[in-house]
Chains A and B, each alone.
Chain A
Amino acid sequence: MEPILTVEELTKTYGGRGNHTAALRGLSFSVEPGEFVGIMGPSGSGKTTLLNCVSTIDVPSAGRITIDGVPLDRLKGKALARFRRERLGFIFQDCNLLDTLTGLENIALALTIGGAEPKMVERRAREAARLLGVEEVLGKFPYQMSGGQQQRVAAARAMVTRPALVLADEPTGALDSKSAGQLLEQLEELNRTAEATILMVTHDAFAASWCRRILFLRDGKLYRELSRADEDRQSFFREILAVVSRLGGEAEE
């Protein structure tokens, strides 16, 4: 099967003459359809830069990214916006729901922006809400929901367009552990049942333990890769912690 996401020799440098900061230095990896991949690494390892490049918000200095067979450097302007809204789904750290819209409308927004058939919108939005277990807050405004509910509504919004790839940036960052667990369980289930491909950036080992595979970044390069295989989540969690502690320890040297 062809990979959904291929990243080849990705390099990103910030700053101008005489003042370089390299955020990514020749990173390569690929993600297969239906995978749930976590990206981990300490601050400054290039996680966010990678996500920005993949989500077409930022442009790499060198290397290429291909999503669903489309090389991103070929896309410009309108085509780029179109690609972003049709092929990608986003879940942000601060859930980024529109405060003026209800839960249902927030989910529906992703569809209406994409120009979906108006008659289908509400049904599809409700379906996505059911998958993420947020049916009871559909009529509420964001400020009437808990943080976990907001984040799950945001996840539903990311899923509702059935994107090729869902990009999640620290989705549990602002949540308490119980809500985080709920959200991740839903994501994992979606990944299994709906075969959604998810790329999640996190620095939280607990959150990462829900993934099937984890890429560890350090100083803009791939440091290690960890696959869950048939392990249970607890032992995978311990394995991740071991890598994280080594990662942190070596980084401080």
Chain B
Amino acid sequence: MSGKLALRNVRRSFRDYAVYFVTLAFGVCLFYVFSALDDQSVIRLLAQNDNPSVEGIFMLMGVFSAFVAVVLAGLILYANRFLMKRRKRELGTYALLGMPTGQVSRILVEETLLIGLAALVSGIALGILGSWCLDRLTVAMFLATPGEVFAFHLSWKAAGKTAIYFGVIFLLVMVFTGVSVSRARLIDLIRSGRTNEEVARRSLGASAALFVLGCLCLGGAYTLLLTRGLLRIDPIWFGMLGLGTLGSFLIFRSLSGFLLRLTKGHPGYYKGLNMFVLRQWSGKVHTNCASNTVISILLLLAIGVTACSVGLNDTITATVSNQTPYDLTVLNYGRAGEYEETDVVALLRRTGFDTGENFAAARSVTVYYNDETVTGFSQAGFYAAVPLSSYNRLMEDRGLSTLTEEELPCRTPEAIVNGPAADGVVVVSDEAAARLRPRRQMVNITYRGQAQQVDEALRAALEEAEDFTGGLDIMLNHKLDNYYDLMGTKILVLYMGLYLGLVFLLTAAAVLALQQLSQASDNARRYQLLSKLGASEAMRRRALVSQVALAFLLPLALGVIHAVVGMQAANEVIRVMGKVNSAHSSLLTALFLLLIYGGYFLCTCLGAWRAVREER
């Protein structure tokens, strides 16, 4: 019997459940997509190429999955609590009619189970679709010829993992629900609708003092962050975190009273429904100051992580494409550690590889052992020196600006070869180079035709030829290898950042939406009264939208302020690796934010309005 009742309850109050359900399903979907990452075409391709960062991706994904599962579990428990609050009256009626508490909680548990199962199934279905889209997107983003690589796989492993994780979460929710119902007292259930919210009243002075104190706390935390940097994790770092949290909390705590007092004298207070909206909001801001603090911090994380990952991604791209100017660099380490120059192209031709057909250009450059007494640069930071004439010839080939005698000696402004060998080279005059010992021959080659095909042909030829080097230590640095490396890092950074950012953003927005919608029944009564007093529909709608907007914007405002300061510190860290283009990452983040947060805001407005309109 209780099963039937549960099923009907879910069907009937689907609207109530909608936000809960959507949040659940979206959480499941996200979780699936990121658990299924190891079956993505691009990642499989990278794994085939023995890319070291693939291991890293998998490991980090595992760690983050666990972390995200904890965040989502918190969100689901929170959402469930709101749902329960809304239905207290109904549960009370069951109990009043003589249903034993055990059965009441069984109904609830069955409802949770139903919703959970439905969310799990639709979430995974959505996840498969999302996974497919992401796959296409990554292939399109990172590969030139997507057709051959793209082959979509359904990841049973990810589905199983998602089911297990969320199964545990749902189990937790069910236990929580069951216990809280069997503990509740009937009188509390029946009277739940009537308890009035205490609106604490504090003097303007106290509010202002609290507000100022909050600002000071935040200011202190910001100063600590900016002066000490992001990554010095010690007791003071945690102190800074605590100070920031306390500051946010105090500001939210005092803001309602503060703003209310400030606006009260203003004639606009008595205009239209302004007064009503402000009061609606201020009461809630006061009671919700703890959750608002959490939301503003979640938003900080969301904004910060997204912007940082996009910024870092840009930086890596710029850095690495600067570092691999050639399709192939052949490094000749000489014979038994002794320098020995050779015709590398002829060496390759001897393996049967058609160099005339495949190579467009080849330029050999010799670098010399760095000697501080000659070059003036320390051996610790610079392993080699390159003569000015060689450097300029390379630059001329690539159409880049050359150096003159006066600027010497200096660090190479542009990479002279592929890979890490380009780092730590100093340009010296030809005369100075004559006094140095030659260290290594490096041959830069550009291909004719498709890089991937040439690479493959070359690899095949070298594999067949036995010891083509004739005793020389020769290493090849392919541009595409670097590119795959880069791609791995890029995917790692971007996916991690976007994934975490999305989860944080989703959680923050969902908590806000739930808070707003859970007030729907209280609001319905109030808006009904407004209607009776003659407030037109347009007027009421405007009031409701402003009310929801205030609730969404306030934590966002503080979150953005946090994020702006946090990004300053984060950019310092990224700057170590290369240039930072903060405009691009900010723009992308803003877009991202607008889409998710704005979407939730819109849905909340619609849902709240429907709830208010329905109960006439």
Contact = CB atoms under 8 A, between A and B. Distances in A.
Interface of A: 57, 78, 81-82, 84-86, 88, 90, 92, 96, 98-101, 105, 108-116, 118-119, 121-122, 141-143, 157
A86 B531 CA distance: 13
B270, B273, B279, B530 pick with most chain A CB within 10 angstroms: B270
Contact of A105 (B267, B271, B275): B275
A85 B540 CA distance: 14
A117 to B, nearest CB: 9
A141 B283 CA distance: 12
Contacts of A143: 196
Contacts of B276: 98, 100-101, 109
Contact of B279 (A57, A100, A114): A100
B456 interface: no
A49 B268 CA distance: 39
Given A98-B276, A100-B280, A113-B539, A108 B270 contact: yes
Interface residues of B, number: 27
A119 B535 contact: no
A86 B487 CA distance: 69
Contacts of A116: 270
The 10 closest A-B pairs by CB, nearest first: A85-B534, A121-B270, A118-B267, A143-B196, A118-B270, A100-B279, A84-B534, A113-B535, A81-B536, A118-B271
B483 interface: no
Interface in B518-551: 526, 529-537, 539
Contacts of B272: 112-113, 115
Contact of B533 (A57, A78, A109, A141): A109
B274 interface: yes
5 contacts: A85-B534, A98-B529, A100-B279, A112-B274, A112-B275
Nearest to A112: B270
Contacts of A101: 275-276, 279
What does DSSP make chain B's interface, helix, strand, loop or mixed?
helix
A96 B529 contact: yes
B535 A85 contact: yes
A86 B534 contact: yes
A167 to B, nearest CB: 11
A108 B275 contact: yes
B267 A78 contact: no
B45 to A, nearest CB: 59
B199 A141 contact: yes
Contacts of B275: 101, 105, 108-109, 112
Q: Which of B273, B276, B280, B283 has the most chain A CB atoms inside 10 A of its CB?
A: B276
Contacts of B268: 118
A98 B523 CA distance: 10
B536 A78 contact: yes
A247 B199 CA distance: 48
Contacts of A113: 272-273, 530, 533-535, 539
Given A82-B534, A113-B539, A115-B272, 12 more contacts: A81-B531, A82-B536, A84-B532, A98-B529, A99-B196, A100-B197, A100-B283, A110-B533, A113-B272, A118-B268, A118-B269, A118-B270
A96 B532 CA distance: 10
B536 A100 contact: no
A81 B274 CA distance: 19
Contact of B270 (A57, A82, A90, A111): A111
Contacts of B526: 98-100
A168 to B, nearest CB: 13
A197 to B, nearest CB: 18
Nearest to A105: B275
B191 to A, nearest CB: 14
A92 B529 CA distance: 10
B533 A90 contact: yes
B186 to A, nearest CB: 23
A85 B279 CA distance: 22
Contacts of B199: 100, 141
A153 B530 CA distance: 16
A149 B134 CA distance: 63
A242 B581 CA distance: 90
A12 to B, nearest CB: 18
B360 to A, nearest CB: 76
A122 B533 contact: no
Interface in B262-314: 267-276, 279-280, 283
B232 to A, nearest CB: 46
B280 to A, nearest CB: 6
A72 to B, nearest CB: 14
Given A98-B526, A101-B276, A109-B276, A114 B267 contact: no
Given A101-B275, A109-B276, A119 B534 contact: no
A92 B532 CA distance: 10
A118 B268 CA distance: 7
Nearest to B536: A81
B201 to A, nearest CB: 9
A115 B274 CA distance: 11
Instruction: Give the most central of B269, B534, B537: most A CB within 10 Å.
Output: B534
Contacts of A122: 270
B533 A85 contact: yes
A99 B269 CA distance: 18
B270 A114 contact: no
A90 B279 contact: no
Nearest to A102: B279
Nearest to B529: A96
A112 B271 contact: yes
Contacts of A108: 270, 275
Contacts of B536: 78, 81-82
Contacts of A111: 270
Interface in B240-267: 267
A160 to B, nearest CB: 11
